């Protein structure tokens, strides 16, 4: 017990001594070359090349760095726009002497403005120089400076204080504007080149028949690409995120002649392309339930109740004709391309003349540099060939060598248990007969 008390007393004394030893401080004032106070100057106390503590100056330029142990410190002053400087050879802090514990430098520390930095650069759009484009320099959510690019895409912004900035080009909707982080160093020129990619465009429009009635579920695709979509119930479609360029766009649907038109996509804009499809050898007649546009108006079985069911007896005209029901089989989704789209192919195995409810063949996705391709898995079940004599019904006997081998391979645990039981039974029978 005495030892514990002794240890606690010693620990308390050491804590008090360490607090006393580290009680020194340095204070002072920082001004600029015109003797005006400088705020937010970071003042650091360094002892033997080790940072001990630091403090920021207040609105009056004053600072106090406390918690300093004995020693002769170096004070370093740092703030954006001014040259960093250090004050060495300061008086020695001696915490055992009350007159040398809390020290204050009698005259202000003076800082001088740093040499300005400069920024130069070139702005390109799809590797082509962009002229008369405004580039803006931001710092702490404030505009610091801006400049216009010349005919070759070059720009210059001078007299910048050191620090970190955000460079923002404004090339309009034709390009994807990308900001860059810029670090300015006093007395140096920072050069930066920016190449903006073209913004994608889109195409929209409608698909109608020769009587200008909308055709729903018509397929619209851009040939030789993965871009496609289907028309809605009003016959309208839209395809987004298409790279700028020249294409051929095609619309098709069962019962109508396919139509292809030239398409030019301009970066950042929407292009309208409309289709009016002509029925394949369509001679107007009375509309009946046969999944065909009988009256050539671009609609199937409008105004009829073709729900199936019923049955019973002849007569009744065309409304009793059974409609074709589509059965769709789709491939796996392909890899996600750089435009954020996946595609697949869906086929109507019933080959209806006018397919219904076709699943979407495109969907949005997240592009990855290491795309994963979905691979179908198949399970193969081993079979035993069976020879069947004419006029007889043959089944594979379970006791064939192949069947027994297959059973053992797929039921190894059961086979081991059966062998153990047989061995034990044989041993018991042996001893029983021997005893008799």
Q: Please tell me the predicted confidence (pLDDT) of residue 281.
A: 67
pLDDT tens column, 240-274: 999 999 999 999 998 888 999 999 999 989 999 99
DSSP 113: B
Q: What are the extents of the domains in the chain?
A: 2-110, 117-196, 201-304+321-364
Instruction: Check whether 59 has a pLDDT greater than 90.
Output: yes
Instruction: Check whether 179 has a pLDDT greater than 80.
Output: yes
pLDDT tens column, 223-242: 888 899 999 999 999 999 99
Q: Please tell me the predicted confidence (pLDDT) of residue 409.
A: 60
Domain 117-196: which topology?
A: Immunoglobulin-like (2.60.40)
The reported pTM is 0.44
Q: Please tell me the predicted confidence (pLDDT) of residue 253.
A: 92
Closest CA to 187 of 137, 109, 259, 116: 116
In sequence order, what DSSP letters do the residues of 220-281 get, joined into one string?
Answer: EEETTSS-EEE--TTSEEEEEEEPSEEEEEEEE-TTB--EEEEEEEPTT-EEE--EEE-BTT
Closest CA to 132 of 172, 166, 160: 172
* Mean of pLDDT values over 72-84: 91
Altogether, the residues listed in the chain come to a count of 436
- 3-class DSSP state of 419: helix
Name the residue with higher pLDDT: 404 or 64.
Answer: 64
CA dihedral angle for residue 111, residue 113, residue 115, residue 120, rounded to 10 degrees: 130
Instruction: Check whether 429 has a pLDDT greater than 70.
Output: yes
Identify the band that residue 404 occupies on the pLDDT scale cut at 50, 70 and 90: low
Q: Please tell me the predicted confidence (pLDDT) of residue 301.
A: 63
Level-2 CATH architecture, domain 201-304+321-364: Sandwich (2.60)
Instruction: Check whether 110 has a pLDDT greater than 60.
Output: yes
**CB proximity list for 406: less than 8 A, separation 6 or greater:** 382, 384
Instruction: Check whether 352 has a pLDDT greater than 80.
Output: no
Does the fold of domain 201-304+321-364 match that of domain 117-196?
yes
Q: Please tell me the predicted confidence (pLDDT) of residue 328.
A: 78
Where is average pLDDT lowest: 101-115, 202-216, 408-422? 408-422
Name the residue with higher pLDDT: 304 or 250.
Answer: 250
Q: Please tell me the predicted confidence (pLDDT) of residue 390.
A: 41
* Mean of pLDDT values over 144-168: 93
**CB proximity list for 286: less than 8 A, separation 6 or greater:** 294, 295, 318
> What proportion of the chain, given as a percentage, has pLDDT over 70?
75
* Mean of pLDDT values over 33-51: 94
Q: Buried b vs exposed e over 210-235: b needs ≥16 C-beta within 10 Å?
A: eeeebbbbbbbbbeebbbbbbbeeeb
pLDDT tens column, 371-383: 444 444 444 444 4
Instruction: Check whether 304 has a pLDDT greater than 70.
Output: yes
Q: Please tell me the predicted confidence (pLDDT) of residue 335.
A: 84
* 253/230 Cα distance (integer angstroms): 10
Where is average pLDDT lowest: 87-91, 171-175, 197-201, 319-323? 319-323
Where is average pLDDT lowest: 127-136, 211-220, 290-299, 308-317? 308-317
* Mean of pLDDT values over 50-58: 95
2-110: CATH class: mainly beta
Closest CA to 26 of 78, 66, 69: 66
Distance of CA 390 to the CA centre of its chain: 65
Instruction: Check whether 30 has a pLDDT greater than 70.
Output: yes
Q: In this structure, how many other beta carbons lie within 10 angstroms of the beta carbon of residue 124? A: 18
Q: Please tell me the predicted confidence (pLDDT) of residue 338.
A: 77
Pick left, alpha or beta for residue 245 (phi over 0 → left; psi -120 to 50 → alpha; otherwise beta): left
Where is average pLDDT lowest: 22-26, 77-81, 208-212, 302-306? 302-306
Pick left, alpha or beta for residue 140 (phi over 0 → left; psi -120 to 50 → alpha; otherwise beta): left
Instruction: Check whether 56 has a pLDDT greater than 50.
Output: yes
Q: Average model confidence (pLDDT) for the chain? A: 81
- Give me Rg for the CA atoms of the chain: 43
Identify the band that residue 366 occupies on the pLDDT scale cut at 50, 70 and 90: confident
């Amino acid at each position: 017990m005495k030892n514990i008390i002794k240890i606690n007393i010693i620990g308390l004394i050491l804590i008090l001594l360490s607090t006393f030893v580290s009680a020194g401080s340095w204070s002072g004032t920082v001004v600029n070359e015109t003797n005006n106070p400088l705020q937010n100057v970071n003042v650091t106390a360094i002892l033997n090349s080790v940072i001990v503590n630091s403090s920021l100056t207040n609105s009056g330029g004053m600072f106090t760095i406390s918690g300093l142990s004995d020693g002769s410190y170096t004070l370093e002053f740092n703030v954006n726009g001014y040259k960093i400087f250090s004050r060495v050879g300061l008086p020695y802090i001696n915490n055992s002497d009350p007159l040398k514990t809390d020290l204050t430098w009698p005259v202000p520390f003076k800082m001088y403005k740093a040499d300005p930095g400069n920024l130069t650069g070139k702005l390109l759009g799809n590797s082509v120089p962009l002229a008369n484009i405004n580039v803006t320099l931001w710092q702490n959510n404030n505009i610091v400076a801006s400049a216009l690019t010349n005919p070759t895409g070059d720009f210059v912004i001078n007299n910048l204080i050191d620090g970190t900035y955000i460079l923002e080009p404004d090339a309009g909707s034709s390009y994807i504007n990308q900001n860059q982080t810029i670090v300015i160093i006093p007395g140096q020129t920072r050069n930066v080149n920016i190449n903006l990619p073209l913004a994608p465009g889109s195409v929209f429009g409608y698909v109608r028949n020769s009587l200008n009635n909308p055709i729903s579920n018509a397929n619209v695709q851009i040939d030789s690409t993965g871009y496609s979509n289907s028309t809605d119930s009003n016959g309208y479609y839209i395809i987004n995120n298409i790279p700028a360029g020249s294409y051929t766009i095609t619309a098709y649907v069962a019962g109508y002649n396919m139509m292809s038109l030239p398409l030019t996509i301009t970066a950042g804009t929407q292009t309208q392309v409309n289709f009016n499809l002509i029925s394949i050898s369509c001679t107007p007649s009375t509309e009946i339930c046969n999944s065909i546009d009988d009256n050539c108006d671009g609609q199937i079985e409008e105004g009829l109740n073709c729900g199936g069911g019923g049955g019973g007896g002849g007569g009744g005209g065309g409304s009793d004709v059974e409609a074709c029901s589509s059965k769709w089989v789709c491939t796996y989704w392909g890899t996600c391309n750089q435009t954020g789209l996946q595609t697949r192919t869906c086929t109507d195995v019933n080959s209806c003349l006018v397919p219904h409810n076709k699943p979407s063949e495109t969907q949005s996705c997240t592009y990855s540099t290491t795309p994963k391709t979905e691979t179908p898995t198949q399970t193969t079940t081993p079979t035993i060939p069976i020879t069947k004599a004419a006029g007889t019904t043959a089944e594979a006997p379970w006791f064939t060598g192949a069947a027994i081998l297959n059973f053992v391979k797929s039921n190894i645990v059961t086979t081991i248990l059966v062998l153990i039981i047989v061995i034990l039974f044989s041993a018991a029978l042996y001893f029983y007969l021997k005893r008799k």
